[in-house]
Structure 1
């Protein structure tokens, strides 16, 4: 009879371990999603600053403002359920918009002295730094989740419940090519 108690005890310990491991994986996945949500919020603010720049360029060139408006209309919505690839696509559109703005500034040097332009560029710089920091936090949370998903015996529970590795943000060639002000 005592062996039944031992078997039941072992089963209870295994179930408790599975539940505990599952909860840790859920927490890690939520940290990743929260980090992506922070990136999405910063990206949205960055695009709002670009819209201010578009308003500033309208005074100088309606054609360029229309081109910029078309670029901003093409962008997808980045939110907490997005992945790194979607954010990179959004970053590429952002880089295109910034190159267009650079063209306008070259053609209309007085734009650099415009108060709206100056304020918007300061905002973009601030949000760009915030996006960069949020990406570092995201990559850190992805590292923690990916370790858990790969390490034995947690990988068994991860496989049973469909947890998968997330992708990291990598340096983008678009970032290196962005104009500097």
Structure 2
């Protein structure tokens, strides 16, 4: 084998390797987009459930109108959010408002016993679980993608073809703690 053939083999091997890096980055980006779509679908299901929940609780509005207003405002913010960060903030805000709403049911036995309210609460719980699973999957793909575009030699391909970092979809820890706390209810 001549020296020229060896050089051609090395160049061809490097080309194939660069193509493999590019294809992996494209695959990860497509996976992130699909995972984000799953989160978005679950968030929309959650936002679509809110009007029925609010209608069920409206009979108790005289006592806790502010709580319902916060739920409605959080839903609207979620519907209009654009970026991953804005959607995460809206989801956090809605989780806090819903936490207060469900804690409210403890203070009103009639509401707590309402079958429609219980059904909606269960459905919302299953949606929350689906969001949590979709969030974990999305964040895992984002982690892999971000690590790949920052690793040598992949970073050269990523920079050349404009692959940029993606944000995680995270629950704000202070918001998570606030949701877990039982609000004070004065009757």
Shorter-normalised TM range: 0.7 to 0.9
- CA-based RMSD of the aligned residues comes to 2.8
- CA contact under 8 A between 2:32 and 2:141: conserved in structure 1? yes
CA offsets, 1:130-169, max 9 Å, x none?
1111111112111211221122111111111111222334
Aligned partner of 1:32 in structure 2 is 32
Aligned partner of 2:78 in structure 1 is 75
- CA contact under 8 A between 2:93 and 2:175: conserved in structure 1? no
CA offsets, 1:61-92, max 9 Å, x none?
2772861434322324468xx42x22321222
**Please, which runs of 5 or more residues in structure 1 have no aligned partner?**
none
Aligned partner of 1:14 in structure 2 is 14
Answer yes or no: is 1:131 the counterpart of 2:131.
yes
Aligned partner of 1:178 in structure 2 is 179
* Alpha-carbon distance, 1:7 to partner: 4.3
* Alpha-carbon distance, 1:123 to partner: 1.0
Provide closer, same or farther for how the CA distance between residues 137 and 71 of structure 1 changes in structure 2, counting only shifts above 3 A.
closer
TM-score of the two chains, using structure 2 as the length reference: 0.78
Name the CA distance, whole Å, in 1 between partners of 2:100 and 2:40. 23
TM-score of the two chains, using structure 1 as the length reference: 0.80
Provide closer, same or farther for how the CA distance between residues 130 and 180 of structure 1 changes in structure 2, counting only shifts above 3 A.
farther
- CA contact under 8 A between 2:53 and 2:117: conserved in structure 1? yes
**Number of residue pairs the alignment of both structures matches:** 177
**Please, which runs of 5 or more residues in structure 2 have no aligned partner?**
183-187
